[in-house]
Chains A and B, each alone.
Chain A
Amino acid sequence: DIQMTQSPSSLSASIGDRVTITCRASQLIGSYLSWYQQKPGKAPNLLIYAASTLQSGVPSRFSGSGSGKDFTLTISSLQPGDLATYYCQQSFSIPWTFGQGTKVDIK
Protein backbone atom coordinates (compact mmCIF):
# COMPACT_ATOMS: atom_id res chain seq x y z
CA ASP A 1 0.00 0.00 0.00
CA ILE A 2 1.08 3.58 -0.62
CA GLN A 3 1.52 5.43 2.67
CA MET A 4 0.52 9.09 2.78
CA THR A 5 2.14 11.20 5.48
CA GLN A 6 0.85 14.67 6.29
CA SER A 7 2.57 17.38 8.27
CA PRO A 8 1.94 18.94 10.59
CA SER A 9 -0.69 16.82 12.37
CA SER A 10 -2.20 20.02 13.73
CA LEU A 11 -1.67 23.74 13.56
CA SER A 12 -3.08 26.89 15.01
CA ALA A 13 -3.17 30.07 12.97
CA SER A 14 -4.76 33.50 13.00
CA ILE A 15 -7.40 34.82 10.65
CA GLY A 16 -5.70 36.08 7.53
CA ASP A 17 -2.61 33.90 7.93
CA ARG A 18 -1.21 31.86 5.09
CA VAL A 19 -1.41 28.17 5.97
CA THR A 20 0.54 25.36 4.30
CA ILE A 21 -0.05 21.64 4.75
CA THR A 22 2.23 19.06 3.18
CA CYS A 23 1.55 15.50 2.09
CA ARG A 24 4.26 13.03 1.16
CA ALA A 25 3.67 9.72 -0.60
CA SER A 26 5.79 6.64 0.10
CA GLN A 27 6.36 6.24 -3.64
CA LEU A 28 5.91 8.26 -6.81
CA ILE A 29 2.23 8.92 -7.55
CA GLY A 30 2.41 11.46 -10.35
CA SER A 31 -0.43 13.94 -9.85
CA TYR A 32 -2.92 11.36 -8.61
CA LEU A 33 -3.69 13.29 -5.46
CA SER A 34 -6.78 14.92 -4.00
CA TRP A 35 -7.43 17.09 -0.97
CA TYR A 36 -10.50 17.08 1.26
CA GLN A 37 -11.79 19.31 4.04
CA GLN A 38 -13.72 17.71 6.89
CA LYS A 39 -15.56 19.95 9.32
CA PRO A 40 -16.50 18.54 12.74
CA GLY A 41 -19.36 16.05 12.52
CA LYS A 42 -19.54 16.26 8.73
CA ALA A 43 -18.47 14.16 5.78
CA PRO A 44 -15.30 15.14 3.93
CA ASN A 45 -15.70 17.63 1.11
CA LEU A 46 -13.53 17.64 -2.01
CA LEU A 47 -11.33 20.72 -2.37
CA ILE A 48 -8.74 19.84 -5.02
CA TYR A 49 -8.17 16.99 -7.45
CA ALA A 50 -5.32 16.06 -9.75
CA ALA A 51 -2.99 17.76 -7.27
CA SER A 52 -3.82 21.32 -8.32
CA THR A 53 -7.30 21.59 -9.85
CA LEU A 54 -9.75 23.47 -7.69
CA GLN A 55 -13.16 21.82 -7.37
CA SER A 56 -16.02 23.98 -8.60
CA GLY A 57 -17.43 26.16 -5.84
CA VAL A 58 -14.33 25.98 -3.64
CA PRO A 59 -12.96 29.42 -2.67
CA SER A 60 -9.89 30.52 -4.59
CA ARG A 61 -7.91 30.99 -1.35
CA PHE A 62 -7.37 27.22 -1.50
CA SER A 63 -4.67 25.94 -3.83
CA GLY A 64 -2.72 22.76 -4.37
CA SER A 65 0.64 22.02 -5.87
CA GLY A 66 3.18 19.27 -6.28
CA SER A 67 3.77 16.04 -8.15
CA GLY A 68 5.71 12.85 -7.66
CA LYS A 69 5.99 12.33 -3.91
CA ASP A 70 5.54 15.80 -2.39
CA PHE A 71 2.37 17.85 -2.38
CA THR A 72 1.13 21.01 -0.72
CA LEU A 73 -2.26 22.45 0.18
CA THR A 74 -2.20 26.19 0.79
CA ILE A 75 -4.85 28.44 2.28
CA SER A 76 -3.76 31.93 1.27
CA SER A 77 -5.75 33.81 3.90
CA LEU A 78 -7.27 31.72 6.68
CA GLN A 79 -10.95 32.36 7.37
CA PRO A 80 -13.07 31.34 10.39
CA GLY A 81 -14.96 28.78 8.30
CA ASP A 82 -11.70 26.98 7.50
CA LEU A 83 -11.63 25.34 10.94
CA ALA A 84 -11.45 21.70 9.88
CA THR A 85 -9.28 18.66 9.37
CA TYR A 86 -7.68 18.33 5.95
CA TYR A 87 -6.83 15.02 4.26
CA CYS A 88 -4.85 14.10 1.19
CA GLN A 89 -5.73 10.96 -0.81
CA GLN A 90 -3.80 9.10 -3.51
CA SER A 91 -5.37 7.32 -6.45
CA PHE A 92 -2.22 6.02 -8.10
CA SER A 93 -2.92 2.47 -7.00
CA ILE A 94 -5.52 0.48 -5.12
CA PRO A 95 -6.04 0.48 -2.22
CA TRP A 96 -6.70 4.22 -2.34
CA THR A 97 -5.17 5.65 0.82
CA PHE A 98 -5.48 8.85 2.82
CA GLY A 99 -3.10 10.86 4.92
CA GLN A 100 -3.70 10.86 8.66
CA GLY A 101 -5.12 14.38 8.55
CA THR A 102 -4.07 17.88 9.58
CA LYS A 103 -6.30 19.65 12.07
CA VAL A 104 -6.45 23.42 11.58
CA ASP A 105 -7.49 25.54 14.56
CA ILE A 106 -8.11 29.25 14.66
CA LYS A 107 -6.06 31.18 17.21
Chain B
Amino acid sequence: QVQLQESGPGLVKPSETLSLTCTVSGGSISGHYWSWIRQPAGKGLEWIGRINHSGSTRYNPSLKSRVTMSVDTSKNQFSLKLNSVTAADTAVYYCARDVIVAGTVWFDPWGQGTLVTVSS
Protein backbone atom coordinates (compact mmCIF):
# COMPACT_ATOMS: atom_id res chain seq x y z
CA GLN B 1 0.00 0.00 0.00
CA VAL B 2 1.42 3.34 -1.06
CA GLN B 3 2.27 5.76 1.74
CA LEU B 4 3.49 9.35 1.53
CA GLN B 5 5.49 11.33 4.08
CA GLU B 6 6.26 15.03 3.94
CA SER B 7 9.47 16.41 5.45
CA GLY B 8 11.13 19.79 5.73
CA PRO B 9 11.58 22.82 7.99
CA GLY B 10 8.58 23.82 10.04
CA LEU B 11 9.64 27.46 10.24
CA VAL B 12 10.65 29.69 7.35
CA LYS B 13 11.49 33.39 7.47
CA PRO B 14 9.58 35.88 5.35
CA SER B 15 11.04 36.42 1.86
CA GLU B 16 12.92 33.11 2.04
CA THR B 17 12.21 29.81 0.28
CA LEU B 18 10.00 27.06 1.62
CA SER B 19 11.36 23.62 0.74
CA LEU B 20 9.54 20.34 1.30
CA THR B 21 10.10 16.76 0.20
CA CYS B 22 7.59 13.94 -0.11
CA THR B 23 8.87 10.39 0.17
CA VAL B 24 6.81 7.67 -1.47
CA SER B 25 6.93 4.18 0.03
CA GLY B 26 5.16 0.95 -0.85
CA GLY B 27 5.12 1.74 -4.54
CA SER B 28 7.01 3.39 -7.36
CA ILE B 29 6.89 7.09 -8.12
CA SER B 30 6.88 6.18 -11.81
CA GLY B 31 3.65 6.06 -13.75
CA HIS B 32 1.80 8.61 -11.64
CA TYR B 33 1.33 12.29 -11.13
CA TRP B 34 1.97 13.67 -7.66
CA SER B 35 0.48 16.83 -6.20
CA TRP B 36 1.11 19.32 -3.46
CA ILE B 37 -1.93 20.77 -1.66
CA ARG B 38 -1.99 23.22 1.23
CA GLN B 39 -4.43 24.25 3.92
CA PRO B 40 -4.13 27.35 6.10
CA ALA B 41 -5.34 26.82 9.65
CA GLY B 42 -9.12 26.68 9.78
CA LYS B 43 -9.45 27.17 6.03
CA GLY B 44 -9.98 25.17 2.89
CA LEU B 45 -7.72 23.28 0.53
CA GLU B 46 -5.64 24.82 -2.25
CA TRP B 47 -4.01 22.76 -4.99
CA ILE B 48 -0.45 24.02 -5.58
CA GLY B 49 0.64 21.87 -8.51
CA ARG B 50 1.63 18.46 -9.81
CA ILE B 51 4.64 16.62 -11.20
CA ASN B 52 5.21 13.22 -12.74
CA HIS B 53 8.20 10.88 -12.72
CA SER B 54 9.68 12.47 -15.82
CA GLY B 55 9.48 15.97 -14.32
CA SER B 56 6.48 17.21 -16.26
CA THR B 57 4.75 19.87 -14.18
CA ARG B 58 1.55 21.91 -13.98
CA TYR B 59 1.20 24.68 -11.43
CA ASN B 60 -1.68 26.68 -10.05
CA PRO B 61 -1.51 30.01 -11.89
CA SER B 62 -2.00 31.85 -8.59
CA LEU B 63 1.36 30.49 -7.36
CA LYS B 64 3.13 29.71 -10.62
CA SER B 65 5.64 32.56 -10.41
CA ARG B 66 6.94 31.31 -7.04
CA VAL B 67 6.67 27.50 -7.32
CA THR B 68 9.15 24.91 -8.50
CA MET B 69 8.62 21.17 -8.26
CA SER B 70 11.17 18.47 -8.90
CA VAL B 71 11.41 14.70 -8.74
CA ASP B 72 14.15 12.25 -7.74
CA THR B 73 13.16 8.81 -8.99
CA SER B 74 16.24 7.18 -7.46
CA LYS B 75 14.99 8.16 -4.02
CA ASN B 76 11.29 7.82 -4.84
CA GLN B 77 10.84 11.45 -3.78
CA PHE B 78 9.39 14.63 -5.16
CA SER B 79 9.88 18.14 -3.85
CA LEU B 80 8.30 21.57 -3.59
CA LYS B 81 10.02 24.92 -3.46
CA LEU B 82 8.02 28.09 -2.86
CA ASN B 83 10.04 31.29 -2.88
CA SER B 84 9.48 34.76 -1.49
CA VAL B 85 7.17 33.45 1.21
CA THR B 86 4.96 35.64 3.40
CA ALA B 87 2.73 34.95 6.37
CA ALA B 88 -0.03 34.07 3.90
CA ASP B 89 1.95 30.95 2.99
CA THR B 90 1.63 29.59 6.53
CA ALA B 91 -0.29 26.34 6.17
CA VAL B 92 -0.29 22.60 6.48
CA TYR B 93 1.26 21.25 3.30
CA TYR B 94 0.16 17.86 1.99
CA CYS B 95 1.55 15.69 -0.74
CA ALA B 96 -0.79 13.30 -2.53
CA ARG B 97 -0.94 10.93 -5.46
CA ASP B 98 -3.12 11.88 -8.41
CA VAL B 99 -5.36 9.05 -9.54
CA ILE B 100 -6.50 9.56 -13.12
CA VAL B 101 -9.32 7.48 -14.60
CA ALA B 102 -11.17 8.46 -17.76
CA GLY B 103 -10.09 12.05 -17.31
CA THR B 104 -11.29 12.32 -13.73
CA VAL B 105 -8.55 13.16 -11.23
CA TRP B 106 -8.70 12.60 -7.52
CA PHE B 107 -6.13 12.50 -4.74
CA ASP B 108 -5.43 9.24 -2.96
CA PRO B 109 -3.54 8.61 -0.79
CA TRP B 110 -2.40 11.72 1.06
CA GLY B 111 0.54 12.29 3.32
CA GLN B 112 -0.17 13.19 6.93
CA GLY B 113 0.71 16.83 6.26
CA THR B 114 3.38 19.10 7.65
CA LEU B 115 2.84 22.52 9.19
CA VAL B 116 5.01 25.28 7.78
CA THR B 117 4.96 28.61 9.60
CA VAL B 118 6.33 31.74 8.00
CA SER B 119 7.64 34.03 10.69
CA SER B 120 10.75 35.95 11.61
Contacts of A95 in B (CB 8 A): 47, 60-62
Stretch at the interface among B8-16, B17-25, B106-114: B106-114
> Which range holds the interface residue count of chain A?
20 to 34
* Nearest-Cβ distance from residue B40 to partner chain A, whole angstroms: 12
Number of interface residues of B (CB under 8 A): 23
Dominant secondary structure at the B interface: strand
B106 and A98 contacting across the interface, CB-CB below 8 Å:
no
A49 and B104 contacting across the interface, CB-CB below 8 Å:
yes
Q: How far is the CA of A87 from the CA of B111 in the complex (A)?
A: 17
Residue A34 at the chain B interface, CB threshold 8 Å: yes
B110 and A97 contacting across the interface, CB-CB below 8 Å:
no
Residue A63 at the chain B interface, CB threshold 8 Å: no
Q: From the candidates B44, B107, B110, B113, name the one contacting A100 in the complex (CB within 8 A).
A: B44
A98 and B46 contacting across the interface, CB-CB below 8 Å:
yes
Residue B78 at the chain A interface, CB threshold 8 Å: no
Q: Mark A60-103, 1 if CB is under 8 A from B, else 0.
A: 00000000000000000000000000010101001111111100
A31 and B104 contacting across the interface, CB-CB below 8 Å:
yes
Contacts of B45 in A (CB 8 A): 44, 87, 89, 98, 101
Q: Mark B38-61, 1 if CB is under 8 A from A, else 0.
A: 000000111100000000001011
Interface on B for A, CB 8 Å cutoff?
35, 44-47, 58, 60-62, 94, 99, 101-108, 110-113
> Which 6 A-B residue pairings sit nearest by Cβ, starting from the closest?
A91-B105, A43-B110, A34-B106, A95-B60, A98-B45, A46-B108
